[in-house]
Amino acid sequence: MPIRFLVPLLVLAALAALFWFGLFHGNQRQISSPLVGKPAPAFTLPSVGDPQRSVSNETWRGRPYLLNVWATWCVGCREEHDLLVEIARTNVVPIVGLNWKDDRALAIGWLKQLGNPYADVAFDEVGRVAIDWGVYGAPETFLVAGDGRVVHKHVGPMTRDTWQNEFLPRLRATGTSP
């Protein structure tokens, strides 16, 4: 085989090996958030279930809470939903939902059908609050300490491993003992 064919073939093989390694063995660290260690952005939005009632994260000041950004069009949100319901049943920490760029009727139907893990659900129809929180995709979950600081941000569906290894230790560090 002439060398002019061998060199591109070797380069292609090397790139394929590099991509394969990165895909299956690469570093799976989370993308850090500039909000971590800073005060959580304040918000007041209408409730998903009752547009006449407001939902504000000020309600949770003084105690830790999770802010979970979700939508009915989000496949990852469906993947994590059952686990969020389980977590909510433990009463370790309240979960506040931020329904992002969604249809209100679909969101209400989702919660009725699949269960509602949220202590309250804000409706961010145009996504302005999500921008303040640095959200660029759903699902994303933030842990906010009782003093109002963002302690952790997780991008992607919550898993049991994520809950046990990323969130619970940080919750314990905030003074909440699950």
For residue range 114-144, what is the model confidence (pLDDT) as tens digits? 999 999 999 999 999 999 999 989 999 999 9
| pTM exceeds cut of 0.75 | yes
pLDDT of residue 26: 43
d(CA 119, CA 66): 10
Among 107, 49, 104, CA closest to 77: 107
Task: Express the helix, strand and coil content of the chain in percent, nearest 5 each.
Answer: 40, 20, 40
Domain topology for 29-173: Glutaredoxin (3.40.30)
d(CA 165, CA 169): 7
| Domain assignments of the chain as residue spans, ordered by start | 29-173
Q: At 75, which helix (H) or strand (E)?
A: helix 75-90
Q: Using one digit for the tens of pLDDT, what is the confidence trace for 7-61?
A: 666 666 666 555 555 545 444 445 567 889 899 999 999 999 999 999 999 999 9
Mean pLDDT across the stretch 161-173?
95
103 or 14, which is more confident: 103
pLDDT of residue 28: 46
d(CA 99, CA 127): 9
Note whether 123 and 98 are within 8 A (CB).
no
- Tell me the three state secondary structure of residue 166: helix
Between helices 104-114 and 75-90, what is the axis angle to 10°? 50
d(CA 174, CA 97): 21
pLDDT of residue 174: 81
